[in-house]
Amino acid sequence: AQRVTQPEKLLSVFKGAPVELKCNYSYSGSPELFWYVQYSRQRLQLLLRHISRESIKGFTADLNKGETSFHLKKPFAQEEDSAMYYCALSGGRSSNTGKLIFGQGTTLQVKP
Amino acid sequence: DTGVSQDPRHKITKRGQNVTFRCDPISEHNRLYWYRQTLGQGPEFLTYFQNEAQLEKSRLLSDRFSAERPKGSFSTLEIQRTEQGDSAMYLCASSTRTSYNEQFFGPGTRLTVL
């Protein structure tokens, strides 16, 4: 079964602390993994994807195929990082649909 | 605003009524997706179009749901004989065919069925 699991509904940290948002997935094949973010009163937007291997707003995520994980990390949290974060997967080039399967989301709360 | 737009933003209806939502994608995007999001959950895929062709439908899309994209531009999602379980946020997203994994989302239509 295709599934994305985000075990934490809420993650609360203080400004400057490291952040790790967990994501595990189940997929038979070679999926593409993404992190989408939704700031308060804004629409859902792409934060980063594993194939880009880039850092966006200080966030990075590494795909670990052995552990089927794609955790999102940032060394020093900022208050403006407070948002809802969704991990998502698609079937990659083999499926070509672009259909995204989302996790339940994790609310990141960065306290001053 | 050149982003994805959805109309209406909010809809309150009584059980048994029909509702229709509209999505206008980014103009050069030929793929259009519909998702549904209930409280506390992530978006769930409903269906997608490439140009005017509806290429995939989720099992979530019961016979009461129908989506169209007649000219390959805007799309409509109709729900007939609404039920309280249809209450949700309905999200539309669009992408190009080649960058299909980078989806741009609209603000959503929040449906409340009384």
Residue B100 has a pLDDT of: 72
Bridge partners, A110 (sequence order): A13
Task: Tell whether the model's pLDDT for residue B1 goes beyond 60.
Answer: no
- CB-CB contact of A73 with A19 (8 Å): yes
Task: Tell whether the model's pLDDT for residue A1 goes beyond 80.
Answer: no
Residue to mutate among A44, A48, A51, A101, with most B CBs inside 10 A, is: A44
Nearest to B100 among A45, A88, A98 (CB): A98
The first and second tokens of residue B43, run together, are 């978006």
Residue A92 has a pLDDT of: 62
Residues 6+ apart with CB under 8 A from B104: A45, A46, B3, B4, B25, B26, B29, B93, B94, B95
Residue B78 has a pLDDT of: 97
pLDDT tens digits, one per residue of A77-104: 999 999 999 999 987 655 667 789 999 9
Would you call A97 and B91 a contact, using CB atoms and an 8 Å cutoff?
Answer: no
- CB-CB contact of B6 with B109 (8 Å): yes
Task: Tell whether the model's pLDDT for residue B36 goes beyond 90.
Answer: yes
Residue A96 has a pLDDT of: 67
Residue A94 has a pLDDT of: 56
Task: Tell whether the model's pLDDT for residue B4 goes beyond 80.
Answer: yes
Average pLDDT of the residues of chain B: 93
Residue A97 has a pLDDT of: 72
DSSP characters for chain A?
A: --EEE---SEEEEETTS-EEE--EEE-SS--EEEEEEE-TTS--EEEEETTT---BTTBEE--BTTTTB--EEESS--GGG-EEEEEEEE-GGGT-S---EE---EEEEEE-
Task: Tell whether the model's pLDDT for residue B79 goes beyond 90.
Answer: yes
Number of CB pairs < 8 Å for A and B?
58
Residue of B86, B96, B14 whose CA lies nearest to B46: B86
| Mean pLDDT of all residues in B94-101 | 81
pLDDT tens digits, one per residue of B59-77: 888 899 999 999 889 999 9
B100: alpha, beta or left, given left = phi > 0 and alpha = psi -120 to 50?
Answer: alpha
- CB of B74 less than 8 A from some CB of A: no
Within 13 Å and on the Cβ side, how many CA atoms surround A41? 0
pLDDT tens digits, one per residue of A11-52: 999 999 999 999 999 988 888 899 999 999 999 999 998 877
Residue A93 has a pLDDT of: 59
* Cis? peptide before A112, omega within 30° of 0: no
Residue B96 has a pLDDT of: 84
Residue B14 has a pLDDT of: 97
